[in-house]
Every structure is written in structure tokens, then in C-alpha cells.
Amino acid sequence: MEKSPQESAIRKASGPRRMLAATRYSMQGLVRLWREEAFRSEAVAFVLGLLLFAVIGAEPYQYLVYVILMLLLFCVEALNTAIEELVDRISPEISTVGRHAKDLGSFAVFCLLCANGLFVLWCLWDSFAG
């Protein structure tokens, strides 16, 4: 089957060039996410949490779990932001469906914030009670 001129003109990168392109797209996403106050607050909380763990003498596995939980939070925050942008683009007027989509994304972020908070509290309790 012969390719159309449009298909021939668009070539997807492969190998190392694809990895470079994916990295560039990810960094562009990070720059976009940095404009969100919620993400900046979470990034500050991440650093403060690491400092707190150093002060209480957290175990290496606790650092690992904390970093994984924070990376998950950053991931969900990025997806929530993507949902909000798509809803605003597709449906700029107020709609029930759009509001539900945004609320569900917000709830996902809230769940991970709670998981992170509970883990930090458990680490504090473990440090002072143990």
C-alpha cells in the first residue's frame, strides 16, 4: 500500500532521537506545570519533607516511599492540569460534565495528598514513638 504525501512527510523519530524528543516533551510539560501554584506548593512540600526526614533520621526505605509517593502526586497533578486544560478548551462554557471531570481530577490529587500526609505522619510517629 502506497503512502500518501502527507504520511511520507511526517516521520516519527526512532531510537535515541525518539528518546531525546520524549525528554524534550516531558521538560515542556514540566515548564507548563510549574506555572500551576498547586504544583509549586507541592514541590516546596517535597523539599521540606526531605528536610524533615533528615531531621528525624528517617530510614532509607522511608525516603524511597516518600519520593515514590511524591512522584505519583506530581504525575496526578500533571494529569489533573491536562484534564482542566482540555475541558476549558473543549467546553469553555460551564457544564456539568466539565465540572465533574475537573472535580474527579481534583479528587485524585486530594487522595495522593492524603496518602503523602498519612505517610509523613506515620514516619514522624515511628521516629518519636520508636
Does the residue 83 lie in any domain?
yes
**What contacts 40, CB < 8 A, 6 or more positions away?**
34
pLDDT at 7 > cutoff 60: no
Does the residue 14 lie in any domain?
no
Q: What is the arithmetic mean of pLDDT over 48-66?
A: 97
- Residue span of the structural domain in which 71 resides: 36-129
For all residues of the chain together, what is the average pLDDT? 92
Give the percent of the chain with pLDDT over 70. 92
Q: What is the arithmetic mean of pLDDT over 50-74?
A: 97
Supply angle C-alpha 100, 105, 110, rounded to 5: 120
Does the residue 31 lie in any domain?
no
Instruction: Please state, in angstroms and rounded to a whole number, the distance separating the CA atoms of residues 35 and 116.
Output: 22
Does the residue 114 lie in any domain?
yes
Does the residue 78 lie in any domain?
yes
Residue 41: HSE in the Cβ half-sphere, 13 Å Cα cutoff:
6
Cβ-in-10-Å burial (0-12, 13-18, 19+) of 24 comes to exposed
pLDDT for the residue numbered 92? 78
Supply angle C-alpha 88, 89, 93, rounded to 5: 55
Does the residue 116 lie in any domain?
yes
pLDDT for the residue numbered 8? 56
pLDDT one-digit tens code per residue, 115-129: 999 999 999 999 999
**Per annotation, catalytic residue among 77, 84, 85, 93:** 77
Q: What is the arithmetic mean of pLDDT over 105-117?
A: 98
pLDDT for the residue numbered 5? 59
pLDDT at 76 > cutoff 90: yes
**What contacts 13, CB < 8 A, 6 or more positions away?**
20, 21
Does the residue 111 lie in any domain?
yes
Q: pTM of the entire structure? A: 0.85
Does the residue 2 lie in any domain?
no
pLDDT at 44 > cutoff 60: yes
Q: What CATH number corresponds to the domain at position 71?
A: 1.10.287.3610
Provide the domain count of the chain: 1
Supply angle C-alpha 10, 20, 22, rounded to 5: 70
Residue 7 known to be catalytic: no
pLDDT for the residue numbered 53? 98
